[in-house]
Amino acid sequence: MKENQSITADPQHAQQFFFSPSSGRPAVLLVHGFTGSPWDLRELGEFLQSNGVGSLGICLPGHGTRDTDLQHRRAEEWLMAVEDGYRRLAGTGSPVMVVGMSLGGILALTAQVQGRIHAKALVTISTPLFFPKEYLHRFIIPWIRWFKGYARKSWIEESDFQFYLQRGKYIRIPLHASHAMYRLSCQARNLVSQVRCPILVIHSSRDQVASPASAKYLYERIGSSEKYLHWLDSPIHNLRLSEKKHSVYSSILQFIKDHE
């Protein structure tokens, strides 16, 4: 794999999806993570639909095509996509909640505080307010991104490349976009105290991508009086790939029911 070679994801699983809610039931905006795709949250959307809860799974700008498309995307573009998705769901007349995975959680928190969305409740999954190797994001990537455009995800075996690409995901990290994501993460740390809606924070105590300190920080500083913390014991960052996912789906559904 050459440094300047564009890596293309399968667009089949990168398409946004929409499941209509039952009459009077909530609709949930599902926002995937950095270098991910709507596939990551589609199974959750199908589970919610089977219980009468609708959902819209959006594809963030720069995702689900070629990793070079993500390289120079701005945080503002991702926030606008969340805002647009929220408006579409709000137009159905259903109360809207938001579930954000990883970067999707940062976007949900930020959009809520900025008044771009007015979610009735939020769920964050594996949201990285802090990183295990914080120094890389703070000192190394801001400099090296000008010389080395991409970094391969070292935790993905070469034999698994097609598995990820076929699901609309990327196997390389565009470093300029990674820096944009990190800056947004740092800004979100100072915003969480302004979040007032009910929130469910889901995180693994062994997450190797998003530091578990993120969940502790978010739970302790969130401005909401209704807050819940669900710890998982798994090293997997992406919920869709975790063996714990079905219990988490049930917890999310119960949280939604409790705040309809």
**Over the range 191-219, which residues count as b (16 or more CB within 10 Å of their CB) and which as e?**
bbeebebbbbbbbbeebebbbbbbbbbbb
Q: What is the pLDDT of residue 7?
A: 67
Q: Which two tokens stand for residue 171?
A: 């196997």
Return phi, psi of residue 32, to 5°: -75, 180
Return phi, psi of residue 231, to 5°: -90, 140
Q: Which value, in Å, is the radius of gyration of the alpha carbons in the chain?
A: 17
Domain ranges of the chain: 11-258
Torsional sign, CA 182, 90, 36, 211: positive
- Which CATH class, in words, describes the domain spanning 11-258? alpha beta
Q: What CA–CA distance (Å, rounded) separates 180 from 224?
A: 27
Q: What CA–CA distance (Å, rounded) separates 53 from 45?
A: 8
Q: What is the pLDDT of residue 1?
A: 45
For residue 109, how many C-alpha atoms fall within 13 Å in the half-sphere facing its CB?
34
Within the chain, which residues score under 50 in pLDDT?
1-4
Strand partners for 123: 99, 200
Task: Output the CA–CA distances (angstroms, integers) from residue 158 to 1, 39, 153, 154, 172, in the order listed.
Answer: 10, 20, 10, 9, 12
Q: What CA–CA distance (Å, rounded) separates 243 from 233?
A: 10
Q: What CA–CA distance (Å, rounded) separates 162 from 141?
A: 27
Q: What is the pLDDT of residue 8?
A: 65
Q: Which two tokens stand for residue 172?
A: 């390389």
Q: Which two tokens stand for residue 242?
A: 């975790």
Residue type, 18: F
Q: What CA–CA distance (Å, rounded) separates 255 from 58?
A: 21
Which residues does 231 contact at the CB level (< 8 Å), separation at least 6?
203, 204, 205, 215
The length of the chain is 260
Which DSSP helix (H) or strand (E) runs through 214?
Answer: helix 213-221
For residue 36, how many C-alpha atoms fall within 13 Å in the half-sphere facing its CB?
26
Q: What is the pLDDT of residue 37?
A: 92
Q: What is the pLDDT of residue 168?
A: 81
Q: What CA–CA distance (Å, rounded) separates 97 from 95?
A: 7
Which DSSP helix (H) or strand (E) runs through 106?
Answer: helix 103-113
